[in-house]
Amino acid sequence: MGALDEGHYNVVLENGVKLGGLEQEPETIAIVDAVKLLLQGLGEDINREGLRKTPLRVAKAFQIVQDALFPEVGVEHGKGQAGGAGGLVLVRDLNLFSFCESCLLPFQVKCHVGYIPSGQRVVGLSKLSRVADIFAKRLQDPQRLADEICFALEHGIEPTGVAVVLECSHVHFPNFEHVFLDSNHERWVKVVVGSGSGSFEKDDSASWLDFFGLLRCKDVSLDNIHARTTVQDSWCPSQSHSRLGLGPNSTMTSAVASIIQSLGQDPCRIELTATPNRYVNWLMNFKDSNLEMKLNGFSSIPLKTTVGRINYKEHVRSENNLSLWSLCEHHLLPFYGVVHIGYILGEEVNSISKTLLQSIVHFHGFKLQVQERLSRQIAETVSPLLGGDVMVVVEADHTCMIARGIEKCGSNTATIAVLGRFSDDPAARSQFLQTIPSYCL
């Protein structure tokens, strides 16, 4: 990972390979300085252990987002006869990620690319993936991403036609005030967009019928490909709500504008003018406000030692699938998932409401966090309310797993914290774990 030393950057990869020269990159320095200002705006100590390397980590993640031209994709001079090399070539289910230009949060993309060769010329299938991936590594909106991929392939390989369909999923992160009121909050905003050229230019062309016939995906068709204006109005959740009562923080918004400029983008571009304010409004959900945890009149339950063996099948209780939203303090990227809480029902222990447990999860989630510490904090908070015998399992997806070049879409992390009899009794842990449903977000 990176180390910051008197303004110079010394990056050592996990395999021991050292990458020097980052001190020569003003874009890196600008992003690091901007992230420091954002952390200070949240009331955080940028020198504490968990945050010391965060500015450089964020800079490295954002540097993946580049306004680069795609490399050579095998262009040949001249055109042959249309369809001479056969029919449609389709590459399905390319997993990509991009960054939303409205809020700077990453979004996932499932990309389907097809083209009809011209003459005897075809292009290596990996080149289709490379072109799509390079255009995704920009600040984007879904429709423009589809159009840019289509345009690049049209002019790069000069086929009879090109078709691009993108299934995009944007995490819908709630505001701190709203999450306590909306128990049915939708985690995702999803949209399907398409772009076509040549023989795919008209929606009713036979080429599109071939495309969707080969795609064999019941949920994707021309009928559910949104028009560009609809996508712009509804795509990014940050455009539909704002944090009430929060005025713009000029220092923090200027820092975000500096990050955008360091990525080779023009902060004055009309699509980006409101982005710094949107990002700061979202980030302020995690401001270190030192709020007190209010437990609605619940008091601690006295610990009581049970004599003899206990039938865990009858006495282990659980509250599963409590919603979790948080922000990784290492990369300033969101993670989200579910929390399961298990406890042992005894004479002094009565079930407490799911609403209270959910509030405890939200209280600890809306901070700069690491998942392991979060699990322990939840366990320690609910333990006095549940008699001291508590087990907490947190299952979460981390957007840093896709936005830092690892690109492991769909991977998730599970952590546990145990107190009381759960600490030393495998039977108790096993009984609770059997109550947890399969993880699915």
Taking only the tens place, the pLDDT of each residue in 380-427 is: 999 998 888 999 999 998 887 766 554 555 568 999 999 999 999 999
* 3-state secondary structure (DSSP) of residue 197: strand
Per-residue exposure over 413-424, b if at least 16 CB sit within 10 Å of its own CB, e if not: eebbbbbbbbee
Which residue segments constitute the domains of the chain, with CATH numbers given? Answer: 1-63+244-284 (no CATH), 64-241 (3.30.1130.10), 312-433 (3.30.1130.10)
pTM value is: 0.78
Strands 390-398 and 333-344, bridge-based pairing: antiparallel
Strand order in the sheet with 188-198: 139-140, 89-100, 106-116, 161-171, 188-198
Measuring CA to CA, which residue among 186, 189, 285, 205 is closest to residue 239?
Answer: 189
Helix spans in 350-425 (H): 354-365, 371-382, 400-403
* 3-state secondary structure (DSSP) of residue 416: strand
Round the CA-based radius of gyration of the chain to a whole number and report it: 25
- Do residues 200 and 163 lie in contact, with contact meaning Cβ atoms separated by under 8 Å? yes
Per-residue exposure over 61-80, b if at least 16 CB sit within 10 Å of its own CB, e if not: bbbbbeeeebeebeeeeeee
Mean pLDDT of the chain: 78
Structure confidence at residue 84 (pLDDT):
41
Q: What are phi and psi of 150, to 5 degrees?
A: -60, -45
pLDDT profile of the chain (441 residues), mean per 10: 35 37 67 92 90 88 55 38 60 90 90 83 74 88 93 84 93 74 74 92 86 83 64 69 55 93 91 92 80 57 52 82 92 92 76 85 92 96 91 92 59 91 92 85 57
Length of the chain: 441
Structure confidence at residue 202 (pLDDT):
87
Report the 10 Å Cβ neighbour count for 88: 19
